Structure 1
Amino acid sequence: MLSTSLTVGDKPYVITAVVTLCGHDAVIAVGGGEAPHVGAAALASSRPSLEQNGGISATASVLCVMGHKDDLLARDAAMRLASRLNTTVLVSVGLHVDQATKEDIRQLQVNFEQLIGQIESWLRQQK
């Protein structure tokens, strides 16, 4: 197995991912903000697109810790990576900023999207 760690942003919006290749599959743990944790996990598997256009899509299952709102980030990231890389991807996400404002959440989302882009690039380089 091959692993790397990637980080985007500055405190309190810093987000770090540990990415591990398991054969062709990927396991990604993302944590950030003031209190990294496990808030949600999504497992996505690639499959032929239902549009029957020869493209690749994905399907996902999600688990979320009660009271956490990391499930959409985990699902979107797992689906994106699984379909673009045609593989199985597990993404765990836990981001937290105390008393988060809409701007705090927006900045975490921006950093998260940038981090997922870096993860995708790293995974492509490993193929």
Structure 2
Amino acid sequence: MGDRIVKGQGRTQVRLEALDTGNGICLCLTGGEAPHVGGVVLAAPRPSLTGQGNSCDLWTATVPGHKDVYLAQKAAGKLCTELQVNVSATVGIHIDGAQKQELEIIGENAMEALDEYITAVKSRRETDGGSHHTG
């Protein structure tokens, strides 16, 4: 069982679906007029190279000609760093003739969905006594 969060509407709607396996999170962000697989990122947590805080390493695979991977990198990095778990993120959001403002709204909707998901996971972990399994 996983989580599903929808933000926005119409052409700029974003759907987040996530499965917490107990040992990592599988994230899927799709939306727009033609959901698809455009970019995939694997993120693994590690201590920051500055010696302060947390960071993560990212590995990226892009479908040629797709820019979805930039949002996949941002999403995977955010989840990995904030939740300290391995993350696989698949992103595919497409709208025909996208305007700059629409792309910004898509990004905002995606980050809003991620923030909501992170809050839910942290809340479940507190309820479960720190367990990483949420779903």
Q: TM-score, normalised by structure 1?
A: 0.93
Alignment-mate amino acid for residue 83 of structure 2: L
In structure 2, the gaps of 5 or more residues are: 126-135
Match of 2:133 in 1: none
Match of 1:7 in 2: 6
Secondary structure in 2 aligned to 1:12? helix
1-structure distance, mates of 2:60, 2:124: 26
Match of 1:20 in 2: 19
Does residue 1:43 correspond to 2:54, yes or no? no
Does residue 1:104 correspond to 2:102, yes or no? yes
C-alpha root-mean-square deviation of aligned residues, in Å?
1.1
Match of 1:78 in 2: 76
Task: Quote the offset at 1:41 in angstroms.
Answer: 0.8
Runs of 4+ in 1 over 4 A off after TM superposition: none
Q: Compared with structure 1, are the counterparts of its residues 74 and 64 closer, same or farther at alpha carbon in structure 2 (3 Å cutoff)?
A: same
In structure 1, the gaps of 5 or more residues are: none
Secondary structure in 1 aligned to 2:120? helix
Secondary structure in 1 aligned to 2:56? strand
How many residues are aligned here? 125
Does residue 1:69 correspond to 2:67, yes or no? yes
Task: Quote the offset at 1:123 in angstroms.
Answer: 1.9
**Does the CA-based 8 Å contact 2:6-2:15 persist in structure 1?**
yes
Choose from 110, 122, 127 the match for 2:120: 122
**Does the CA-based 8 Å contact 2:16-2:110 persist in structure 1?**
no
Task: Quote the offset at 1:122 in angstroms.
Answer: 2.0
**Per-residue CA shift, 1:88-107, capped at 9, x if unaligned?**
01111111110111111111
Identity of aligned residues (%): 30
